[in-house]
Structure 1
Amino acid sequence: MRYLLTILIALATLAAQAGPPQILLDVARFRNLNKVEKGAEVEIYVTVPTQPLTYRQRAPKSFQSSAVVTLDILKADGTSAYHEVVTLKPPVLTDTTIAIKNPLSFLKRVMLPDGKYTLRGTVKDQYRSANGETTLEKPLVLEAPTGPFMTDIVLLSRPAVKGGSDDNFSRGGYRLTRAPSGSYGRGADNVFFYTELHNAPVGQELRVHYHLTTPDGSAADADAALTPQAGRPTPVVGQLPMGPLPDGPFTLFIEVYGGPGNKKLLTGHRAIGQHSTAEFAPGAAAAPH
């Protein structure tokens, strides 16, 4: 009985120290290439840090947490365009004092007509009743640009790999490993990225300029040549060194130039990330259960 009471007190202490559960929502909008049903293909990359979750003892030296994630996409009138519930069960731990508990991530792809939506993600700690739920909302605007344009930039934790299986983690013929919320932690020495170029002039080589900058003025730049593909989007992949960047937020700009001497700006896009050498960045994805 005394052993059980000690365990209950320890678990209660862990729950009190952990704070509410957390959820990260990364959204990337791509164009739906279906000519009949025009619209967007929305990638929702969900990450749940496991540090704040409550761990319940299942057997001697066996502890596990559990979280339920609810995803909703609401139309402008409040009606549902998408709804799904996913249960996440992190690996069993032998000791709840283990400092590094890897986050769990999964990715969903949703086809939607163009329009205005709200993305809502809710995570619920299944082993905690008080302060055990967190909801995050993001506006989601889907529209078809005219002329050359780039889709959202996806920040990656490792280089995009050509080939591989055709699943949710592949796009444009590349295998992508996302950096949740654009976070790069200890040991990261490069920013990797992927986007797609649409409606660019075919038959000429274009110049792509990459610019990485921080609020204090630190920067890294690079140029590359790109020949657009006819009839389909052109993948744009690359990397820039993290070395000159201090800790804190950074902005990645990708610009495409064409015309005489490749001096005319055709299109551009940006993505915002975070660099922190004091902590580990969230790891790769795990399949939901």
Structure 2
Amino acid sequence: MLKSPILAFLFVLLHVAAHAGPPQILLDVARFRNLNKVEKGAEVEIYVTVPTQSLTYRQRAPKAFQSAATVTLEILKADGKPAYREVVTLKPPVLNDTTIAIKNPQSFLKRIMLPDGNYTLRGTVKDQYRSAGGETTVEKPLVLEAPTGPFLTDIVLLSRPAARSGGDDNFARGGYRLTRAPGGVYGRGADNIFFYTELHNAPVGQPLRVHYHLTTPDGSAADADATLTPQSGRPTTVVGQLPLGPLPDGPFTLFVEVYGGPGNKKLLTGHRAIGARSATEYAPAGAAVPR
């Protein structure tokens, strides 16, 4: 039995630290076209998620524990020179019990304008309460270019349906409010996947057929069709959903294809997104992280 308050406090700190693995960071990137005719290029949306299960919690007061982390977000040009850099400090909510199995992730969204070109996206998370093994860096290639002819932008996987919104902030796009599924992961209780993308340079004024196809490595699949009529002068938003139904746990691929021409049988453009299902794990707002 621990009789010293100081020993008891040290025991709690060691207990908390022992259960914290290396910090993790998820970078979900969506590339859209910059509609500014003067400054051509891309709008890059970077949705950063830090699962707090992997952070160290420090006792601040009796039954009050908190973690802290910093995220350094960088975009490097092809020559290695910085195009963007920002440091964000995360302070997750205070917990009264660090044995809680589920700790909600901390997320934020950045929308960055960049000229077309080749870049490297780098995200570094640092656990503020750990010196050894308390930092993780993730890098992704980032290619920005303007395709010719009809094209779809990146598909954003959502944890809930895209909702009509007149707001003007980072979470609003194309007249919708978007709630992202971090890492494209759908946990226990998720019956559908939801998604958003934008169609550019499509034939104006004629109805087109949009085909959605969801598939897994074992051959399981779900399909749906919709119609849309592109308008002149702006991209056409494409929103939809598909049931997860009997699809097994593991990775899935969502294909969005647009058909036009006689009988809407000619493939005009298509794009895909990769996500994952984990029906055995509880994942509020995508708290579960693929290992």
Give the TM-score category using the shorter length: over 0.9
Q: 1-side partners of 2:214 and 2:26: how far apart?
A: 23
Shift of 1:12: 1.9
- Tell me which residue corresponds to 1:88: 90
Contact 2:110–2:170 (CA under 8 A) maintained in structure 1: yes
Separation in structure 1 between the aligned mates of residue 113 and residue 181 of structure 2, nearest angstrom: 23
Which letter maps to 2:68? S
The residue that corresponds to 2:231 in the other structure is: 229
Structure-2 residue corresponding to 1:153: 155
Which one-letter code corresponds to 2:52 in the other structure?
T
1:207 corresponds in structure 2 to: 209
In the TM superposition, what whole-angstrom CA distance separates every residue of 1:109-165 from its partner, at most 9, and x where no partner exists?
000000000000000000111110000000000001000000000000000001142
SS in 1 for 2:28: strand
Matched-pair contact (CA < 8 Å) for 1:183–1:282 = no
Moved over 2 A (4+): none
Root-mean-square deviation (CA, aligned residues, Å) is 1.2
Deviation per residue, 1:150-186 (Å, 9 max, x gap): 0000000000001142110010000000000100000
The residue number in structure 1 matching 2:145 is: 143
Q: Distance in 2 between matches of 1:73 and 1:3?
A: 47
Does residue 45 in structure 1 map to residue 85 in structure 2?
no
Report if aligned partners of 1:107, 1:168 keep a CA contact under 8 Å in 2.
Answer: yes
Deviation at 1:60, TM superposition (A): 0.9
Q: Matched residues in 2 for 1:206 and 1:264: separation?
A: 10
**Post-superposition offset of 1:203:** 1.2
Question: Match for 2:253 among 251, 256, 272?
Answer: 251
Unaligned runs of 5+ in 2: none
- How many angstroms apart in 2 are the aligned matches of 1:250 and 1:163? 29
Asked if the contact 2:187/2:286 (under 8 Å) is kept, the reply is: no
Deviations 1:228-277 (A, max 9, x none): 01100000000000112110000000000000000000000000000001
Partner of 1:267: 269
What displacement does 1:284 show? 7.2
C-alpha distance in 2, partners of 1:220/1:4?
58
Q: Which amino acid aligns with 1:161?
A: A
Query: Secondary structure of the equivalent of 2:54?
Result: coil
